[in-house]
A and B are shown apart, each in its own frame.
Chain A
Amino acid sequence: MTILYLLIPLSLVLLGLAVWAFFWAVSNDQFEDLESPAHRILFDDDLPAPPTRRRPDATEEPPP
Chain B
Amino acid sequence: MSAPCYHCGTPVPDGAPWRIVIDETPEPLCCPGCEAVAHAIVEGGLANYYRYRTELSPRPAADEARPQTWAAFDHPDLQAQFVHTGNGQASATLAVENITCAACAWLIEHHLNALAGITQSAVNLAEHRLRVSWDPAVLSPSRLFAELAAIGYDALPFEPDSAYRRQQREERMTVRRLIVAAVGMMQVVMFSIPLYVAGPGELDAGMDALFHWLSLALTTPVVLFSARPFFREAGRALVHRRLTMEVPVALAIGGAYLASLYAVVTRQGEVYFDSIAMFTFFLLFSRYLEARTRRRSGQSGNALAGALPAAALRLDADGGEQVVPASHLKRGDRILVKPGASVPADGVIEQGESSLDESMLTGEHLPVTRRAGERVTGASQNMENALTVRVTQAGGEATISAILDVTDRAFAARPALARLAERMAHRFVLRLLLVSLLVALAWSVIDPGRTFWVTLSVLVVTCPCALALAAPTALAAGHGQLKRRGVLITRADALEALAGITHVVFDKTGTLTRGEMRLTATVAIDDALEPPRARAIAAALEAHSEHPIATAFRPFRTPALAAERVARHPGFGLEASLEGATWRLGRASFAAGRALTPPEGPGLWLLLSEDGIPRAWFALEDFPREDALEAVDRLKTQGLCVELLSGDTVPAVERLAETLGISRWQAEATPEGKLDRLRALQAEGARVLMVGDGINDVPVLAGADVAIAMNGATDLARTRADALLLSPRLMRVSEAVEIARATRQVMRQNMAWSVAYNAVALPLAALGLVAPWLAALGMSLSSLVVVGNALRLTRRRVNP
Contacts and interface: CB of A to CB of B under 8 A. Distances in A.
A49 B52 CA distance: 12
Question: Interface of chain B, helix or strand or loop or mixed?
Answer: helix
A40 B101 CA distance: 11
B190 to A, nearest CB: 8
Interface stretch (B40-48, B57-65, B324-332, B461-469): B40-48
Given A22-B179, A23-B176, A23-B179, A33 B46 contact: no
Nearest to A9: B214
Contacts of B42: 50
B145 to A, nearest CB: 15
A7 to B, nearest CB: 11
B19 to A, nearest CB: 15
A1 B207 contact: yes
Interface residues of A, number: 35
A43 B172 contact: no
Interface string B202-217: 0000010010001000
A34 B123 CA distance: 12
B38 to A, nearest CB: 13
A6 interface: no
Contact of B44 (A4, A15, A53): A53
Interface string B25-46: 0000000000000001011111
Contacts of A4: 207, 210
Interface in B126-153: 126-127
Question: Interface of chain A, helix or strand or loop or mixed?
Answer: loop
A3 interface: no
B115 interface: yes
Contact of B124 (A12, A23, A33, A50): A33
B: contact size bracket = 35 or more
A40 B106 contact: yes
Given A26-B175, A47-B51, A57-B116, A39 B45 contact: no
A36 B179 CA distance: 22
Instruction: With a 10 A CB-CB cut-off, give which of A1, A27, A40 has the most chain B CB atoms.
Output: A40
Contacts of A53: 43-45, 114
A11 B187 contact: yes
A64 to B, nearest CB: 11
B46 A39 contact: no
Interface in A30-64: 31-36, 39-40, 42-43, 45, 47, 49-55, 57, 60-62
A39 B44 contact: no
B474 interface: no
A19 interface: yes
A18 B183 contact: yes
Given A35-B125, A39-B105, A49 B47 contact: yes
Nearest to B203: A1
27 contacts: A4-B207, A12-B187, A15-B183, A18-B183, A19-B179, A19-B180, A23-B176, A23-B179, A26-B172, A32-B124, A33-B124, A34-B292, A35-B124, A36-B122, A36-B123, A36-B126, A39-B105, A40-B105, A40-B106, A43-B52, A43-B102, A49-B46, A49-B48, A52-B43, A55-B44, A57-B115, A62-B116
Interface of B: 40, 42-48, 51-52, 102-103, 105-106, 110, 114-116, 122-127, 172, 175-176, 179-180, 183, 187, 207, 210, 214, 292
Given A35-B126, A55-B114, 9 more contacts: A11-B187, A23-B176, A34-B126, A39-B102, A43-B103, A50-B42, A50-B45, A53-B45, A53-B114
In the A-B complex, the 7 residue pairs with the smallest Cβ-Cβ separation, listed nearest first, are A39-B102, A36-B125, A22-B179, A35-B126, A33-B124, A43-B106, A61-B116
